[in-house]
Structure 1
Amino acid sequence: MAADGGRRQFWRRGAARLPGSIQQVYGAQHPPFDPTSVHSIQVGAPAAGGTNGGRGQREGGLMGSGFGAGVGAIVTGDRGSAGSGSNRPRKATSFQEFAKDTSDAWDLDVSEDELLALATRSLASDVVMATANEVLQKHRGGSGSSGRGKTDKYSEARASSFAYLEQEEDADCKLPSGDWRLVKSRSEAQIGSGSKCASLPRQQSLTLPSVNPPAPMPHRHLLPLVARFADQNTSGAPSWGRDAARLSRFHDLLTSPNMDLDELRKCSWSGIPKAVRPITWRLLSGYLPANMERREPTLHHKRQEYFAFVDQYYGSRNDDHHQDTYRQIHIDIPRTNPLIPLFQQPAVQEIFERILFIWAIRHPASGYVQGINDLVTPFFVVFLSEHAEEDVESYDVSLLPAEVNRGIEADSYWCMSKLLDGIQDNYTFAQPGVQRKVNALGELVSRIDEAVHSHIERHEVEYLQFAFRWMNNLLMRELPLRCTIRLWDTYQAEPEGFSQFHLYVCAAFLTHWRKEILSEKDFQGLMLLLQNLPTMHWGNEEVSLLLAEAYRLKFMFADAPNHYRR
């Protein structure tokens, strides 16, 4: 008996916190849904608020005043007291009584077939519209049931929200003046650009604002992968004033009968204006001569020579001794910059296949190695921009005349060949050039930032595990293509830029992430960071700072090998 008395005392003490009676929950939109309430709904006559206990509360609350009040209820005391005048729930005197009073919360005495039928039954449209209008009127007018209490402020907030949404719908679904999104590809910016109710404005209108309309987001331009391309800083604003003076200087150099190549390199080190980048890259790579009269004949001759190689070698791509090379090229081409639609066009992929296959056949010491496919893309994009509109990322090359496409293909081949002539030991057997540069990177970092070097070694991360790709692909997998184009402006202006200066750029790139590297406390986190560095937002400013730091390191260490020694 003492034990029974103790149990009764327990249920008396905890009754206020047990499921059974009704308590207000601020912020709820409606009471729990009861499928059986569908039976009581008649066309044009929504059920009234429940006053007959627990089940009546749920049935009436679904479509009556309880729903419009904007505040729901949950069962936590005696369900029969919900409609009584007393605000205080009657406590259960025993567990058996408690169980009896609350058994209908889960047991609806309805078979599974009936529940399925109820779930699939749709309400009449006029009932739905009448109820929705009633809810909106209550939200706008701030009226509701007497049980709202403290929830008046929530109803007022919702009323303001609905009014703001109606004003937004009347605004013709216009986008704000500045698009603050950061997209991976310029093609993504085309989504939702329609004149009325496009996808992006619709998503904005579905987001409930605060009581006061939100302040406009800061103006931020899109940064496409192939920037408009490398002539933008992080904020996306082109520096037209400075570029106008630099463009004039480039024009004077390029139109001189015998161009001063050293002066052209000095001007190109800090970046080349987009308008003159194609001709400047051809000159800096050694593809075209400095003498202006000889440029056009040389260009014509080299293009003819390339397509003579195509006629001679490309037909043998399916021969037994070339089949493996062509197969690997064919596999790697679709993986080249998969986020940029330009490189997924079949015509562009065929151009890349011919360029890489001809180069591999003519350079048997190395042949084709994975990573060389990436080195074609900057040249192709730059030479295409000479003929295409600004949106190079998604430009359809089939719109260009065949002769123009042939010229872009030949120029890309010869410029890539000039680049690889200086770093071919990166791609010969065992890739000794890459391994030598990776080891030099470790030594250099140990001298310029001992903390970073020790942290990497302490977590047993080898430089070869992350820096191999930096050397093999010239940081093209770590930087957006727009940044690579800007980086290559300096590489081509710098003596031995791809073979020597790249080492100091990698050292500056690694130490740039010093804070993030030191914050990682295990091998896995460190490797994930170093293989996925967050550079998608980078622009001209970040690349210029990186190059300035790399030049400082080169000035300190390039001609002073004793600085490596401790």
Structure 2
Amino acid sequence: MSGYKARLSSIDHILNADIIHLSKLKELSLGGIPDEGGRRALSWKILLGYLPLQRTKWKDILDQKRCQYQNFIREMVVDPSLLSKSKSSPEVEDHPLNPSPDSQWRSFFDDNQILTQIDKDVRRLCPDMMFFQRGTDYPCLQVVGEEGVERLHRRVTTETLSAAAVTRKGLGINKIEASRKSVATEDYKPLPPGSEAHWEVVERILFIYAKLNPGQSYVQGMNEIIGPLYYTFATDPDLGMRQHAEADTFFCFISLMAQARDLFIRTLDKSSSGIGAMMDRLMKNLKHHDTQLFNHLQSQELKPQYYSFRWLTLLLSQEFDMPDLIQVWDTLFSDNGGFGYLIQICTAMIVLQRDTILASDFANNVKLLQRYPPIDVRIIIQKGLKNINFKKKKIS
């Protein structure tokens, strides 16, 4: 049996067991999960903690979560008045200037501010591929059915977006760094009544997430993280799973954001779990693996904020095309927490460009790292895995 077939057999053995051997699944996921037969989608749901390790519990969990998500759609998208009615007193007169947080007008203004930014971001999601512009085979019937409601993108007012709406709560992606990925020349268009594009589904997921997390709400850049999750589940070869891609993406996104949320909160930038600490960890790791390269970057005053800010906060989603990115995420999701593998992958990206960096000036190095050159992503992953294995051996 070839090495590849043996790998497939091992993963199938784990995924079909009554009790999932999590550590073995993580080990086999390092470097990439074979995607035939929906192995990746299923593995991600396990690795992100959406599905329990006991197979017998899967059906009940999935039924429960998917039903719960349908209720979220009904309460927050189809008929949001259900929430306001449950909160507000019928004796209190509501009006646009009512300062009460329970005011329906206040809720309308807040929703519009959130939707304006979400709508803007999802209409340009992954412009290098046609997927998000296409229609889903499983549109939400509560929205597009015979008694459908006004689409979220139609609820956005045409008023000028206020500065507060785009102020970073934790993710300042619009810094001097530029994305390697292409940018859509024009916004995606909604599909005709009775159908909906994949970007509209993502918009709904992010809106519901923002409503359920008012303290954090939606932060620009979350669209880049949820995109690969939804794409993976919405292209699952298992049609039974694919039709529930929206609900499954929502709960896996919650799980992923539970790990990454501190990177999106400005007040935690300098905390031990914030983006500042993550960049410090990256630089310390680079110094450990290649002191000469580290010193060269230091001598040029090429700060990690200029390039690694986006790498770390967006989990490298802007640095690679989708097929390559999901292979990287196979490895990232195999981590035991703390994004240690992410640090190693980012370190490998820098070290693999050492000759060019050592021979270049500040301006060219900034350009190089902000727009990382095309490379076989397997080389980066293998280099990162060597760093991981080296670290494990040193600890042991």
Residue 33 of structure 2 corresponds to which residue in structure 1?
272
Residue 383 of structure 1 corresponds to which residue in structure 2?
233
2:306 is equivalent to residue 456 of structure 1: no
Going from structure 1 to structure 2, the CA distance change for 1:438 and 1:556 (only over 3 Å counts) comes to: farther
Distance in 2 of aligned mates of 1:270 and 1:527? 28
Any conservation in 1 of the 2:279–2:308 contact (CA below 8 Å)?
yes
Residue 475 of structure 1 corresponds to which residue in structure 2?
316
Residue 524 of structure 1 corresponds to which residue in structure 2?
363
1:220-369 maps to which residues of 2 (within 5 A)?
Answer: 241-275=2-36, 276-314=39-77, 319-345=108-134, 346=190, 347-369=197-219
Any conservation in 1 of the 2:121–2:223 contact (CA below 8 Å)?
yes
Q: Which amino acid letter does the alignment assign opposite residue 548 of structure 1?
A: L
Identity in percent: 27
Any conservation in 1 of the 2:352–2:380 contact (CA below 8 Å)?
no
| TM-score normalized by the length of structure 2 | 0.70
Q: Which amino acid letter does the alignment assign opposite residue 265 of structure 1?
A: K
Going from structure 1 to structure 2, the CA distance change for 1:371 and 1:273 (only over 3 Å counts) comes to: same
Going from structure 1 to structure 2, the CA distance change for 1:406 and 1:308 (only over 3 Å counts) comes to: farther
| TM-score normalized by the length of structure 1 | 0.50
Unmatched tracts of structure 2, length 5 or more: 81-105, 135-189, 191-196
Q: CA deviation at 1:459?
A: 2.3
Distance in 2 of aligned mates of 1:524 and 1:543? 24
Q: Which amino acid letter does the alignment assign opposite residue 45 of structure 2?
A: R
Q: How many residues align?
A: 303
Instruction: Name segments (4+ residues, structure 1) moved above 4 Å.
Output: 315-318, 403-406
Greater RCO (Cα-Cα under 8 Å, separation 6 or more): 2
Residue 515 of structure 1 corresponds to which residue in structure 2?
355
Distance in 2 of aligned mates of 1:462 and 1:436? 14
Q: Which amino acid letter does the alignment assign opposite residue 18 of structure 2?
A: P
Q: Which amino acid letter does the alignment assign opposite residue 538 of structure 1?
A: D
Going from structure 1 to structure 2, the CA distance change for 1:336 and 1:449 (only over 3 Å counts) comes to: same
Return the index of the structure with the highest Cα Rg. Answer: 1
Residue 370 of structure 1 corresponds to which residue in structure 2?
220
Residue 533 of structure 1 corresponds to which residue in structure 2?
372
Q: CA deviation at 1:431?
A: 5.0
Residue 237 of structure 1 corresponds to which residue in structure 2?
none
Residue 484 of structure 1 corresponds to which residue in structure 2?
325
Distance in 2 of aligned mates of 1:357 and 1:307? 14
Q: CA deviation at 1:352?
A: 0.7
Moved more, 257-266 or 505-514: 257-266
1:121-132 maps to which residues of 2 (within 5 A)?
Answer: none
Q: CA deviation at 1:504?
A: 2.1
Going from structure 1 to structure 2, the CA distance change for 1:293 and 1:554 (only over 3 Å counts) comes to: same
Going from structure 1 to structure 2, the CA distance change for 1:309 and 1:553 (only over 3 Å counts) comes to: farther
Going from structure 1 to structure 2, the CA distance change for 1:263 and 1:404 (only over 3 Å counts) comes to: closer
Q: CA deviation at 1:259?
A: 2.4
Q: CA deviation at 1:301?
A: 1.3
Distance in 2 of aligned mates of 1:456 and 1:425? 27
Distance in 2 of aligned mates of 1:480 and 1:546? 19
Residue 384 of structure 2 corresponds to which residue in structure 1?
547
Q: CA deviation at 1:325?
A: 1.4
Any conservation in 2 of the 1:333–1:349 contact (CA below 8 Å)?
yes
Q: CA deviation at 1:251?
A: 1.9
Q: Which amino acid letter does the alignment assign opposite residue 223 of structure 2?
A: N
Any conservation in 2 of the 1:501–1:554 contact (CA below 8 Å)?
no
Deviations 1:167-215 (A, max 9, x none): xxxxxxxxxxxxxxxxxxxxxxxxxxxxxxxxxxxxxxxxxxxxxxxxx
Deviations 1:439-458 (A, max 9, x none): 22223323332222222222
Report the aligned-residue RMSD: 2.5
Going from structure 1 to structure 2, the CA distance change for 1:448 and 1:251 (only over 3 Å counts) comes to: closer
Going from structure 1 to structure 2, the CA distance change for 1:543 and 1:461 (only over 3 Å counts) comes to: closer
Residue 342 of structure 2 corresponds to which residue in structure 1?
502
Going from structure 1 to structure 2, the CA distance change for 1:450 and 1:337 (only over 3 Å counts) comes to: same
Q: 2:220 is paired with a residue of what secondary structure?
A: coil
Any conservation in 2 of the 1:369–1:427 contact (CA below 8 Å)?
yes
Distance in 1 of aligned mates of 2:336 and 2:247? 24
Q: CA deviation at 1:354?
A: 0.9
Q: Which amino acid letter does the alignment assign opposite residue 381 of structure 1?
A: Y
Q: Which amino acid letter does the alignment assign opposite residue 237 of structure 2?
A: H
